[in-house]
Every structure is written in structure tokens, then in C-alpha cells.
Structure 1
């Protein structure tokens, strides 16, 4: 399969000290299109969330096998599997109803045990220990939900230990762990090598936390994966923006990562869409800006 030349820019990815990749469905629901895109930027890692219009949790065995063969064909490794575990209501404290992004997945807490079992299967199948999870839909007073969330995450970490995987908790502004500070507090409380962080400075910025220095200093040393997205205020509301054109201050973040010897993985999860809605071109715009920032940081 070959994509038209106009899809790709001229920038290629030099060697960086991190496992740099992209969430594939931010490029295309067609995994092969996404992997072709990554190859043309010399990226060797990806994050899996949706495949061919399905959440990976709902993919058939045949689709998973097809994905594995394509990853082998394009020599791309999976850095992290992005699952919707705990992206539903906390039974003791349901959140107010609102529009929510569940990425083609509708589950409840009754599904948690089954989802964790499936997570272990996917982790082993795609040869990656990292599985992304959340912290339940955010309630009006997250402090009241905190002990319930903490205890459930601790039990999940024990399941992860038994299955030789690492659950990585993402700070998500619609969930009870929304900022870097909240992420650090939860990870320190559970205190398990099988529960680490996915630091998303863009998500935290929507809640008023400065990615650097505030967010980074809180989560330093506690995360094994990171999401890159940017945002700015548009008519008083937050809107996703091309990387480098918002408030996330990635030059300072990447300098801090290099200084502190971060060796984990990083995924572009831009969420930004151009006015024409072109998913692939929107991701390309952010990726080329991200690579430019990384080059300047390394200079």
C-alpha cells in the first residue's frame, strides 16, 4: 500500500531519546494508512486505541491478528494500548450527565473484571506492558470520590501485577484524576510499580494547571508514557490547537525530560482538527510542529 506523496512532509524524524509515536486513529481508522504515515516519518512506535472503526476492546480476533501482521510488516512497535477502563461512572457516586468522549466504547463498572482480563490478553498479544486506564467520570467533588477511586485502582494494580503488565493512569479533565498534581497524589497513594502514569499536560491545562513547571514538577518520575496535544482559548472556551500554537509550553517540557533522563514513550494525540476536518492532515500539521520543537530542543 502506498499513500500519495502530498500526504507527507519533507521532515524526517532524527534519533530522539524517547519512544516517539502517534495514536493511530488520530491519523486514520485504517491501521495500514496510519502505519504508512508513521513509516514516512521514520517513527517506530504507535499507540493503539481504535482499529477500523472499533474500539480495540471490541475488535475481533481476526482484526487483532490483522493488526499484528501489519505492525510486523511496517516494523512498528506498540508503546501503549489505550483502553477505556474506568472511563465510566463510579457506582458510589455517578457523575452528572454530560457529553463524553468514549471512543466507541460503552462499558460500566460491572465490566471491570472482564476488561482487565482482556487488557492482559492485549498487552501480551501486542508485546507491550503498558495499558492506559482512567479514574471514573469526574464528580462535582472529586475529593469525596478519592478513596473509592484509590481503592479500585489499587485492586486493578494487583491484577496487573499477576499478569505482568503495567497500568498507566491518564490525567483526564473529564475524570477524577485530571491534573498532574492529582495524578501524582493518586500514584503515590497506591504506590505500586504496576500503576504508573500517562502524563497529559494538555488535559491538565484545561483545568488551569501550567504544564511547566507546575504539572511536570508534580509528576516527575511517576509516569512511563506521555500524551502530546496543545490547546488555546477561543471565545472564552478551550479548543485543541496544533502542537506549538497553544499554552502547553512543550519546549520547556522536553528540555526538562531530557535533563531528567526520561526514557519512556511519547504519543502525539493531537485531537486538533483543521477547518476541513481532515484527520490525517491535522495530525501531520501537529507532528511536523512537534518534530521541529524536538529538533530545536536538542540543538
Structure 2
């Protein structure tokens, strides 16, 4: 194991401005990144809703401030959609691509945040895959459908949901 997935931190409950906690999250992640580098690990920061690193801007602020090769980003299209980010690939690919080394394959709808199979929602997954292909991406595509049940700390799709999600991804890849 070389890569460790992690998240930025939860701000205090009732917080209106996650921006107020970017510096603190960055300082904490800086310490973890330095420890990871000393021991040969790479940290993969996932954008996740309801935490400090939930939007492209805050994710970029964190990784660009730390600016260390042992801290990279996971791009999760559904999670960006669920915090209201529209046209994420068009708007943020150039900003985040230099830091992105891992992709979650799931999608969601902007109107209600419901998770759906890749390509069915507003996460611009086919656009993302197209850009990855154009850049010669050789990293991981992690199929993470969460189609049946999804909560703050869990997600479950079951065999049928996973098969459905895999076929959706296969269809998108065939379009490239």
C-alpha cells in the first residue's frame, strides 16, 4: 500500500462558512503530508460534502498551499454535484488536473443531489473521461456507485447496483 485516501476535516456543526476553516485544515494536512512523505506514502484527498474540502476552490486552496508531491486529489464528480458545483469539468479541470491522480466514478443530479450511475447525472463524467484520455491518464478509475443506500459514513449498491454502474461506465468508455 502506497496511497492513503483521506478527507479534510469537518468544520464545527452549525458553521456557515467553511472558508473560515481552510487554513486550519491545510495546516493539519500539511503535517500529515510531511509524515506521509517521510514514510513513503502518498495522501489522496477526496472532495466530500459537508467537510472543508468540498468545493473545487477549497480543494485547490489546500493542495496548492501545501504544494507537495505526496498530497494529490481524488476527483469525485458526484460529490462536487452534491455541493452545487455545475459544469465542474469545464470550470475546474485546468485548475485541479495537475493535482488529480485518482477518479471516483459516480454521478449525481444537481436538483436533488441523488446519486446515479456515471453519465446519467450532472457530473460531466463523459467530459471528464474524455479529458483523462486526452491527457494519457493511467491512474485509477474507482467505481463507487452508491446506488441503493448512501449515508454520511456508508454507501451500498449491492451486486445489481454494481453491475448497473459497471455497464454504465463501460458504455461511456465505448463513446471515447
**RMSD between superposed Cα atoms in Å:** 1.7
Matched, 1:296 2:175: yes
Matched, 1:240 2:119: no
For the 8 Å contact 1:168–1:198, the answer to whether it is kept is yes
Q: Which residue of structure 2 aligns with residue 159 of structure 1? A: 35
Q: Which residue of structure 1 aligns with residue 160 of structure 2? A: 281
Cα distance in 2, alignment partners of residues 207 and 260 from structure 1: 27
Cα distance in 2, alignment partners of residues 149 and 191 from structure 1: 14
For the 8 Å contact 2:80–2:123, the answer to whether it is kept is no
Q: How many residues align?
A: 166
Give the TM-score of the pair, scaled to structure 1.
0.53
Q: Which residue of structure 2 aligns with residue 269 of structure 1? A: 144
Higher Rg of the two aligned structures: 1
The answer for unaligned runs of 5 or more in structure 1 is: 1-127
| Alpha-carbon distance, 1:218 to partner | 2.3
- Cα 1:169–1:154 change in 2 (3 A) is same
Matched, 1:130 2:3: yes
Secondary structure in structure 1 of the residue aligned to 2:98: coil
Give the TM-score of the pair, scaled to structure 2.
0.87
For residues 62-100 of structure 1, what are the alpha-carbon distances to aligned partners after superposition, in whole Å with 9 as ceiling and x for unaligned?
xxxxxxxxxxxxxxxxxxxxxxxxxxxxxxxxxxxxxxx
The partner residue of 1:257 within 106, 125, 132 is 132
Secondary structure in structure 2 of the residue aligned to 1:287: helix
The answer for unaligned runs of 5 or more in structure 2 is: 150-155
Runs of 4+, deviation exceeding 6 Å: none
Q: Which residue of structure 2 aligns with residue 203 of structure 1? A: 79
